[in-house]
Amino acid sequence: MTTFPDGFLWGAATASYQIEGAVHADGRVPSIWDTFSHTPGKVHHGHTGDVACDHYHRYREDVQTMSWLGLQAYRFSVAWPRLADLGFYDRLVDALLDEGIAPVATLYHWDLPQSLQDKGGWTDRDTAYRFADYATRVHDLLGDRVRTWTTLNEPWVSAFVGYGSGRHAPGVSDPATAFTAAHHLMLAHGLGVQALRAAGAESISLTLNLTPILGDPGPARLVDGLANRIFLDPVLRGAYPDDVLEHLSRYTEVSLDDLATIAEPIDVLGVNYYTVNRVVADPAAEGSPEHPGTQGIAWTQPHGALTEMGWEVIPSGLEDLLVRLSQDYPGVPLMITENGVAVPDGVADPERIAYLDGHVRAVHAAIGKGVDLRGYFVWSLLDNFEWARGYDKRFGLVRVDYDTLERTPRDSARWFRDVIARNGLPA
């Protein structure tokens, strides 16, 4: 029996635009993902989040499913475009608490109001201050019941996929803009922490997608800086790494005076892990637009088994990542805020069970090496709108029929239910 520490938190995660639907309900205004998904050619098959899983109207059914699973916590995001009427989240939090499920609220999971994008979005410094105002408003409504808060989800994606390659909303492809957006997202995080602290928030975190970079040491170090340390070091050390700052300064100017705000102490670091990247030096390579300035570096083919997303399945990467974080950034507790896999559709999903089993064992091994890891959230509770991939890729413990919106727990849901019940895995 592989048993986890007492108090280890088991949960599942979703995000507002990916599951809620109801994009015109109760005063919601358009987001950048409404605009992007309705632009021909941006999302597979022209899919949008207009209906998604209709969680907005079916949340009670979904909370009952969470209760059946035995979830101890549910990580959801608040939609900034719903700021005019946040009553849905008031009802959702009450429903969760009625079932003994702790709400974990993420304030930003990529659905920036289009009105702010029209003023520059994350390239406009003022957006960071608007985020702090928004954080205060949400805490005013939910802070008496929500104990755990996350400022941003995966700012790397918002900056470098949204403004670097343009594969995500708002669809900008400009490396200088991407670096500026990254800095302003971190500033928003710091200002958001200040706002939440002032409002009395108990536990505040930031969630980063962290991807180990394997391969030739020189290229791997550069890409690691642009993928991981560009956020880790400012937030946890109060400074950009020297190599990253040198690289960044070729593209844009940022105010280093912001670093004191960016480094506001957090209580937990959220870690989203899916795979690793492998790189080699290649003088003919054009590099990656999501890692600006990587000309001469090639991304090599993944090894071994791949997911439906084409990502390498490598649980050891998660163990190594957690040990590295514990050693390089000591004193900050960690939480796995997303880990999951897209596999072929069906209720029987042995590939998902195998993936999750391997990664949960990697988490346990990291704890055994002294990593202060507080919990594990599966991505995702439900099949959902997988951003530019539309509805083709399915990550859910629960299958969603997008024609009828019927929910069906998969075999992996029953597997995870057993893991939670025993607080561990069979030997």
- Which pLDDT tens digits describe the chain residue by residue (427 residues)? 899 999 999 999 999 999 999 999 999 999 999 999 999 999 999 999 999 999 999 999 999 999 999 999 999 999 999 999 999 999 999 999 999 999 999 999 999 999 999 999 999 999 999 999 999 999 999 999 999 999 999 999 999 999 999 999 999 999 999 999 999 999 999 999 999 999 999 999 999 999 999 999 999 999 999 999 999 999 999 999 999 999 999 999 999 999 999 999 999 999 999 999 999 999 999 999 999 999 999 999 999 999 999 999 999 999 999 999 999 999 999 999 999 999 999 999 999 999 999 999 999 999 999 999 999 999 999 999 999 999 999 999 999 999 999 999 999 999 999 999 999 998 7
- 109 is annotated as contributing to ligand binding: yes
CATH classification code of 2-425: 3.20.20.80
Spatial separation of the C-alpha atoms in residues 231 and 271, rounded to whole Å:
12
The reply, when asked if residue 61 is annotated as ligand binding, is no
- 153 annotated as a binding-site residue: yes
Catalytic residue annotation: 154, 338
379 is in an annotated binding site: yes
386 is in an annotated binding site: yes
- Is 387 annotated as belonging to a binding site? yes
Domains in the chain: boundaries: 2-425
Quick one: pLDDT at residue 170? Answer: 99
Q: pLDDT value at position 427?
A: 79
pLDDT of residue 240: 98
